[in-house]
Amino acid sequence: MAKVPVQFTLNGAEKAEFIDSGTTLLHALRDKIGDTSPKGGCHQGTCGACTVIIDGELRLSCLTLAETCNGAAVTTTSGLSEGGVLHSLQRAFLDAFATQCGFCTPGMIMAAKVLLDHTPNPSREDVVEALSGNICRCTGYEPIIQAVLTAARSNSQNAV
């Protein structure tokens, strides 16, 4: 079958690939483009490990067809650091010991980023709600919730 061209920006950089029609964005990112930060946990939209941001919206890349992303702006966890400096969420996850095996971490950080983009000073309930689509096996969630709240506080301090 003929390959399908797709073109979108990934973390600000232009990407163009020929893919099989029906290829998921997760597969295209990991196996064609080489950005392995989104993880394939369940491949059916129930675990959240593959979460990415498409045009500012939270999306499950395992349920998104790559060919629907033409012209879109895709953001993954690997695009968050700037000039070797970690994003405030990445720093907060490290400091709070909010990651163990690390498999859920990129999806958690993407979910938290969209939350903080829209709600810079979230309540604990806001954070719980924002993370409710992401499954973690190791941490018991509490360190992750604390990391997101800490990142929000450090963002607002830096904004002053």
Report the interface residues with other proteins, using CB under 8 A.
41-42, 44, 46-47, 97, 99-103, 127-129, 131-132, 135, 137-145
Residue 77 · residue 110 · CB < 8 Å: yes
CB of 100 to other proteins, least distance (A): 4
- The whole-angstrom separation of Cα 121 and Cα 154 is 10
**The residue to which tokens 């163990």 are assigned:** 100
Residue 32 DSSP symbol = I
Contact 126, 111 (CB under 8 A): no
Q: Whose Cβ is closer to other proteins: residue 86's or residue 101's?
A: 101
In the bound complex, what is the minimum distance in angstroms from residue 21's beta carbon to other proteins? 26
* Shorter beta-carbon distance to other proteins: residue 22 or 140: 140
CB of 63 to other proteins, least distance (A): 13
Shortest separation between residue 145's beta carbon and other proteins, angstroms: 6
Q: Which C-beta is closer to other proteins: that of 4 or that of 138?
A: 138
Q: Based on CB atoms, which residue is closest to other proteins, 20 or 103?
A: 103
